[in-house]
Structure 1
């Protein structure tokens, strides 16, 4: 089972804990098959998901949207990103140089092309910019990829 992730970044700590629990519940439903998690490893939902996949004895496929992607992530997230990418069974690097909304959407589209299912850590609001969570959810629906929205009671964004 190949599961892709999309979701919000910069989540407050109480929401991180709620989302982590909810993602782990979702992944626990797939213990009977080989679990592969597709992620870009951004801070927030992506990295929470990646760690949960590894903890469930799954494999990570990391999709790097652009050569400068890591540099565009918060500096405090770099050690987490580095640790998780080092555990990936495959790293797919897209041909973009700059980390832009388009490169992020292209990475999401790549993941949707591989995924059996999409987990979306999403508050249901429109995307704050092109390539945001709402756009990825809509693209998944258009492609016929089943979507499970995760936004636990009590979750919030900044």
Structure 2
């Protein structure tokens, strides 16, 4: 792989009031990555954060053709279902590559996908709300394990906790 690679991990079920904040933060992180020499971006194409990230990268690709989006899909039926939807079909067609991790769905397939993305990236962008279980926290742990640069975008529980703590510090 030429150029530096950046991947994303994040939650599928963000609170509606957080979506614009997350999209703006993702846009800033992608701009920062491009300024730092990143040209390849990987998304697992799950609903929520993964697809917001993919949309922004493809939007930026219109003015910067050097950018590439790589879709890393956990299993074949997931790819088939994404290809059946107009919006995700168009995004997948615009990808430089589509990697399908496994033929069939197994309990560990999402973890394998996340590990693959982290291992093949130089930077990981994580949209994270503090949950102690789930794919996002496992991807963050992979980033630490493989000593990857990690950029976190706090949302939901973490953001509310930080706001509360900031308010208490001001008193």
TM-score (ref. length: structure 2) = 0.77
The match for 1:104 among 90, 107, 110 is 110
CA deviations 1:95-143 (Å, max 9, x no partner) are 2411x4411110111111210100001012212x4xx111110111011
Q: In structure 2, what is the equivalent of residue 11 of structure 1?
A: 14
Aligned partners of 1:44, 1:93: CA distance in 2, in Å? 19
Aligned partners of 1:105, 1:72: CA distance in 2, in Å? 20
Q: In structure 1, what is the equivalent of residue 98 of structure 2?
A: 91
Bigger relative CO (Cα 8 Å, ≥ 6 apart)? 1
Sort the Cα spacing of 1:67 and 1:153 in 2 relative to 1 into closer, same or farther, 3 A. Answer: closer
Q: Which sits farther off after the overlay, 9-18 or 42-51?
A: 9-18
* 1:64 maps onto 2:73 in alignment: yes
Kept in 1, the 8 Å contact 2:129–2:155? The answer is: no
Q: In structure 2, what is the equivalent of residue 143 of structure 1?
A: 146
Report how many residues are paired: 149
Q: In structure 1, what is the equivalent of residue 56 of structure 2?
A: 52
Runs of at least 5 residues in structure 1 that lack an aligned partner in the other structure: none
Runs of at least 5 residues in structure 2 that lack an aligned partner in the other structure: 62-66, 161-171
Q: Alpha carbon RMSD of aligned pairs, Å?
A: 2.3
Greater helix percent: which structure? 2
Kept in 2, the 8 Å contact 1:3–1:37? The answer is: yes
Kept in 2, the 8 Å contact 1:119–1:150? The answer is: yes
* 1:43 maps onto 2:86 in alignment: no
Q: In structure 2, what is the equivalent of residue 133 of structure 1?
A: 136
Kept in 2, the 8 Å contact 1:70–1:78? The answer is: no
TM-score (ref. length: structure 1) = 0.83
